[in-house]
Structure 1
Amino acid sequence: MKPLHQRLHLYTEGDTYIFVPADDGVETQSLTIDRASGDIVLNRPNASSPNFGRRSHRTIYGIIGLISLSLSEYVIVITGRELKGRLMDHEIYRATDFDILPMNPNVSMDSQLHPVEAHLLALVRSHLLGGNFLFAYGWDITRRLQAQWQARDAAVHKALWEMADDRFFWNRFLQTRMIDASISTDQDLAKFILPIMYGTFDLRRTFVHGRHIDLCLISRRSRFRAGTRYFRRGIDHDGKVANFNETEQLLLIASPNVSAAQRLSEDQFATKLSFVQIRGSVPVFWAEVNTLRYKPDLQIMDLQETADAMKKHLQEQISNYGNQYLVNLVNKKGHELPVKEAYERYVAELNLPNVRYEYFDFHSECKKMRWDRISILVDILKDDLEKEGYFQLDASQEKPTKVQQGVVRTNCMDNLDRTNVVQATLAKHTLNRQLRDLGILPPTAGIDDYEGFAKEFREMWANHADAIATAYGGSGALKSDFTRTNKRTRKGALDDGLKSVLRYLKNNYFDGPRQDAFDLMTGNWIPRKNPTAASFLVTDSRPLIIRSVPVVASFSMFMICAGLTLPRSSDYSLFYYFMLWFTLFGFCLIFILLHGIDYVSWPRLIPATDVIYYSGPGFRSANHGKGLKDNFGLAKRSRWLGTARSRVGVDHGIELEDLKKRVD
Structure 2
Amino acid sequence: MEYSSGAYSSQAPSPEKSCELYIRDYPHRSIAIVSTSHTLILRYTTSTSEAIANGSLTSLAASTRSRGNPGEALVSKCMVEFAPVSRHLLQDYRRLTHRPIYGTLGLITVNSEVFLSVITHATRAATLRPGETVERINGVAFYCLSSADYDDVVPLESLDPEFSDSASVQSAPYGQGLGRREVAMEHPCHELRNLLSNGTFYYSTDFDLTNRLQDRPINSNSFEIDNFDDGFLWNSFMISPLVQFRSRLMPHERAALDSSRILTSAIRGFCKTMTIPLSSSPLKNVKSGMPSFMTLISRLSCRRAGTRFNSRGIDDDGHVANFVETETTFWSPAGTMFSYAQ
Q: Give TM-score scaled by structure 1 length.
A: 0.35
The residue that corresponds to 1:32 in the other structure is 41
C-alpha offsets along residues 297-356 of structure 1, whole Å, 9 cap, x if unaligned?
Answer: xxxxxxxxxxxxxxxxxxxxxxxxxxxxxxxxxxxxxxxxxxxxxxxxxxxxxxxxxxxx
1:103 corresponds to 2:145: yes
1:132 Cα deviation (Å)? 1.1
Q: 1:170 to 1:127 in 2, by over 3 A?
A: same
The residue that corresponds to 2:225 in the other structure is 161
Give 1:550-589 correspondences, 5 Å limit.
none
Structure richer in strand, relative to its length: 2
Partners of 1:72 and 1:107 within 8 A in 2: no
Q: Aligned with 2:197: secondary structure?
A: helix
Q: Which of 296, 299, 314 is the equivalent residue of 1:220?
A: 299
Q: d(CA) in 2 for partners of 1:210 and 1:83?
A: 24
Q: d(CA) in 1 for partners of 2:248 and 2:280?
A: 54
Q: Aligned with 1:177: secondary structure?
A: helix
Structure with larger Rg: 1
Partners of 1:102 and 1:108 within 8 A in 2: yes
1:185 Cα deviation (Å)? 4.8
1:65 Cα deviation (Å)? 0.6
The residue that corresponds to 1:196 in the other structure is 266
Partners of 2:138 and 2:198 within 8 A in 1: no
Equivalent AA in structure 1 for residue 17 of structure 2 = Q
Partners of 2:117 and 2:141 within 8 A in 1: yes
Give 1:460-609 correspondences, 5 Å limit.
none
Q: Give TM-score scaled by structure 2 length.
A: 0.65
Q: Which of 113, 123, 130 is the equivalent residue of 1:72?
A: 113
Q: Which runs of 5+ in 1 are unaligned?
A: 255-267, 278-664
Give 1:265-284 correspondences, 5 Å limit.
268-277=333-342
1:205 corresponds to 2:275: yes
Q: Which of 82, 85, 91 is the equivalent residue of 2:133?
A: 91
Q: 1:185 to 1:214 in 2, by over 3 A?
A: closer
C-alpha offsets along residues 188-215 of structure 1, whole Å, 9 cap, x if unaligned?
Answer: 3434221111111111112375534322
Identity across the alignment (%): 26
Q: d(CA) in 2 for partners of 1:250 and 1:138?
A: 16
The residue that corresponds to 2:91 in the other structure is 51
Partners of 2:107 and 2:114 within 8 A in 1: yes
The residue that corresponds to 2:158 in the other structure is none
Q: d(CA) in 2 for partners of 1:79 and 1:96?
A: 8
The residue that corresponds to 2:312 in the other structure is 233
1:86 Cα deviation (Å)? 2.2
Q: 1:274 to 1:11 in 2, by over 3 A?
A: same
More deviation, 132-141/73-82 = 132-141
Q: d(CA) in 1 for partners of 2:306 and 2:110?
A: 20
Q: Aligned with 1:194: secondary structure?
A: coil
C-alpha offsets along residues 515-553 of structure 1, whole Å, 9 cap, x if unaligned?
Answer: xxxxxxxxxxxxxxxxxxxxxxxxxxxxxxxxxxxxxxx
Number of equivalences:
247
Give 1:178-189 correspondences, 5 Å limit.
178-186=242-250, 188=254, 189=257
Structure richer in helix, relative to its length: 1
1:8 corresponds to 2:19: yes
1:217 Cα deviation (Å)? 0.9
Q: d(CA) in 2 for partners of 1:70 and 1:229?
A: 30
1:119 Cα deviation (Å)? 7.5
Partners of 1:133 and 1:199 within 8 A in 2: yes
Q: d(CA) in 1 for partners of 2:269 and 2:31?
A: 30
The residue that corresponds to 2:205 in the other structure is 137
Q: Aligned with 2:242: secondary structure?
A: helix
Q: d(CA) in 2 for partners of 1:196 and 1:178?
A: 15
Partners of 2:34 and 2:85 within 8 A in 1: no
Partners of 1:143 and 1:165 within 8 A in 2: yes
Partners of 1:225 and 1:240 within 8 A in 2: yes
Q: d(CA) in 1 for partners of 2:307 and 2:120?
A: 27
More deviation, 57-66/45-54 = 45-54
Q: Aligned with 1:182: secondary structure?
A: helix
Q: d(CA) in 2 for partners of 1:213 and 1:8?
A: 31
1:18 corresponds to 2:37: no
Give 1:345-384 correspondences, 5 Å limit.
none
Q: d(CA) in 1 for partners of 2:305 and 2:142?
A: 23
Q: Aligned with 1:146: secondary structure?
A: helix
Q: d(CA) in 1 for partners of 2:22 and 2:210?
A: 31
C-alpha offsets along residues 176-197 of structure 1, whole Å, 9 cap, x if unaligned?
Answer: 1101112245453434221111
Partners of 1:72 and 1:102 within 8 A in 2: yes
CA RMSD of aligned residues (A): 2.7
The residue that corresponds to 1:475 in the other structure is none
C-alpha offsets along residues 239-266 of structure 1, whole Å, 9 cap, x if unaligned?
Answer: 11110110011223x3xxxxxxxxxxxx
Could you say which structure has the greater relative contact order, defined with CA pairs below 8 angstroms and 6 or more residues apart? 2
Equivalent AA in structure 2 for residue 161 of structure 1 = I
Q: d(CA) in 1 for partners of 2:127 and 2:90?
A: 35
Q: d(CA) in 2 for partners of 1:30 and 1:65?
A: 15
Q: Aligned with 2:100: secondary structure?
A: coil
